[in-house]
Amino acid sequence: MVKKTKRKSHYNSKDLFEEFKSLYSKQHKKEYEPRNFIGNEMKSLKALLEKYSVYEILSAMYNCIIRNAGSISVNYFTNGIKYYLTDHDPKLYWSVVSSPDPNMKKKWRAYTILNSKWLPTATDKKRLKDLEKDLEGVVVNEEK
């Protein structure tokens, strides 16, 4: 029997907690252990879900874990989420950073460089649109 994976847009606080544990263990090479009662961590993630979209939370979670040492917790993340929110489209950002394909990260880097140009040429604008279509194709495939 094949277990269907849950769509990211349907995540709840338990799924977000499991994603935090997974990202933490992948980055810090050790298992995440809750700092206090796990119910408090779930409650704080549930409060975030009422305020932010799932992709905003996942992107901020990734940024928090990457930027900090191994002593962070879910409560630390939820209290400081405003510092880790991305300026880019969260769904697009999450699909790129969670992709195992290094080619996607190269495309993302080229996209951000072209997007930050002050006076892009017509060729730059065309290339930017092409890169945007490629990256959005990953997002559409991820949601299926």
94 contact partners, CB below 8 Å, separation of at least 6? 8, 55, 58, 59, 62
SS (H, E, C) 9-48: HHCCHHHHHHHHHHHHHHHHCCCCCCCCCHHHHHHHHHHH
- 133 CA to centre of own chain: 19
Of 87, 86, 89, 94, which is closest to residue 143 (Cα–Cα)?
94
Tell me how many domains the chain contains. 2
With beta carbons less than 8 A apart as the criterion, state whether 116 and 87 touch.
no
pLDDT reading at 89 higher than 60: yes
Asked if 20 and 79 sit in the same domain, the reply is: yes
Same structural domain, 18 and 78? yes
In this prediction, residues 115-142 reach a mean pLDDT of: 83
Final residue of a structural domain among 33, 58, 83: 83
pLDDT digits (tens, 9 = 90+) for 41-82: 999 999 999 999 999 999 999 999 999 987 899 999 999 999
Whether 74 and 137 share a structural domain:
no
Q: What is the rounded average pLDDT of the residues 92-111?
A: 89
Residue 39 structural domain: 8-83
Asked, for residue 103, whether it belongs to a domain, the answer is yes
Does any domain span residue 138? yes
- Tell me the residue length of the chain: 144
Shared-domain flag, residues 104 and 79: no
